[in-house]
A and B are shown apart, each in its own frame.
Chain A
Amino acid sequence: MIREPILNAVIMAALLAVPLWALWAGEPFTITLATRAAILALAAVGLNIALGLGGLVSLGHAAFFGIGGYAMGILAHHAQTYTPLMEAPFLIEGTKSMPVIWLTAIVAASLAALLIGALSLRTTGVYFIMITLAFGQMLYYFAISWPTYGGEDGLSIYVRNDFPGLNTLRPFPFFAISYVALAVGLFLSWRIAKSPFGLALSAARQNEARVRTVGMDPYRLRLTAFVISGAITGLAGALFADLNRFVSPTMFSWQMSGEFIVFIILGGTARLFGPVVGACLFVILEHWLGGLSDYWLVFLGAILLLVVLFARGGVIGALAGREATHD
């Protein structure tokens, strides 16, 4: 058994080492793959706060991922067509600035999570899964039927957005941005798990009557977790759209939500680096197996089945054992 903090450090170092090697070897596509893994990992790190820590199996996190994506798409679209987003009552113009886009994505995803969470969290179990799925699908069909921003075809953004002092068109600087965003997401997730709020949220997952009896409102804990979770996934959505320079309703699809859950289960539920391992494995398998067969998801399904049957703690659980309660 490897100690979990050491394992986490190795994973984080490997995710940086691979693109560094690719930069040196002149393999830009590998850098893009690593960027994709980092961004998907960030989305799942967001979900893991709700799912892992809070026990909230949201099958609608693609909603926040898509909102982040469209926040980027809409702002950049108006900037590249030189048309204002709105004129009355005050002028809002598009922008190509990443920090502004990220902030917009985070705020929009948080508000959506507040609304969706406030309604969904009145239910539990299968009903919660179904209602979050329903909200995700609502946004999916809304995006399809919204011709202003491409409808089913989505929106293409011709030039990647700007970040002060970096040439974001080159693969490595954009990887660096995504990697730092992932690191910040992981840091927040780690701090929250250790915080008073994290203890209460995790206790609410295990025993709702217990937290009520000590005077804590589980609904309020869960709604807060859901909003933080949605905000992080929203930021990942903005980065994902920027990586592809394209946003489409697919980002809202339930398959996307399902993939996030798969990352977490593969890597290890409620483990800090579970989503990172899961997303990296997914991207690697997608690339290798996807090259061998169009039906590569069959193999992913088999692997997932093995993990669920024989390694309930996911890859992290298999390598690092059961989580330490506290130090």
Chain B
Amino acid sequence: MTEPVLTIEGVSKRFGAVEAARGVTLDLRPGEIHALIGPNGAGKSTLIGLTAGTIAPDAGRVALAGRDVTALDAVGRARSGLGRTFQISSLAMEHSVLQNAVLGALGRSGRVMRLFGNVMRDRDLTERAAAALERVGLADQARRRVADLSHGQRRQLEVAVALTLEPKAFLMDEPMAGLGAEGTASLTAFLDTLRGEAPILLVEHDMDAVFALADRISVLVYGQVIATGTADDIRRDPAVREAYLGEDAA
């Protein structure tokens, strides 16, 4: 079997009396979409923070592309090849769509500290950025300010910026959140093609999208992974049915 791109091993995190993550172990293999589901309060956000490097674990390790990144913060993990998108769009609102995408390409290039030269005339960066916008269908919005975009367009831009990073693994926090049926369908189709470039750890509430996309699904309940398997395995798993799909199972 091929080496996993992203490995989370025995990761724990406690906030006061709450154990938000209890020895969570999961991995992300090349070419797959691994969905992480769980009821509200299951610790999904904490696990995202632990993976992205915004939360330091009490125990356990995180490895990206065979390298231990446990000690790295969010900046270090982004540089190591983790492309994260946020549940609530996190963009430079006063900048244009293209500027946001160029920012990603700039981060990828590592030439951030250059004080001279017009960044918006840098062919290498703008072409990378434009290509990413083209892929998510925002090419015609490039000059608009992000503040003037619709919610759905911001979601698309969020994904485009992650694309400019050319990451080794994507970490997507509810990319479908707040999208209409049409938006969800087109993003689902796009993510389906994306897994060949880099595997995706997908946290998503939209179960149709999860069951359509995921090669594997892990179910998180009270900070613990109670099951990992294919969509069919998960549907059949009695523990999952009880904890999470309870209403449907009844």
Contact = CB atoms under 8 A, between A and B. Distances in A.
A327 B119 CA distance: 11
Contacts of A162: none
B75 A212 contact: yes
Contacts, number: 115
A200 B95 CA distance: 11
A213 B106 CA distance: 12
A196 B106 contact: yes
A215 interface: yes
A216 B107 CA distance: 6
A82 to B, nearest CB: 41
Interface string A211-222: 111111100110
B102 A199 contact: yes
Interface residues of A, number: 29
Q: Is the interface of A mostly helix, strand, loop or mixed?
A: helix
A326 B99 contact: yes
A215 B93 contact: no
B120 A194 contact: yes
Interface residues of B, number: 44
B193 interface: no
Contact of B112 (A191, A197, A326): A197
A196 B86 contact: no
Contact of B114 (A197, A214, A215): A197
Counting chain B CB atoms within 10 Å of each CB, which of A209, A215, A326 scores highest?
A: A215
A325 B114 CA distance: 20
B145 interface: yes
A200 B112 CA distance: 7
A195 B119 contact: yes
Counting chain B CB atoms within 10 Å of each CB, which of A199, A224, A327 scores highest?
A: A199
A271 to B, nearest CB: 13
A199 B94 contact: no
Nearest to A228: B115
Interface of B: 52, 54, 73-76, 78-79, 84, 86, 90-96, 98-100, 102-104, 106-108, 110-120, 122, 125, 143, 145, 161, 164-165
Interface of A: 191-192, 194-200, 202-203, 206-207, 209-217, 220-221, 224, 228, 325-327
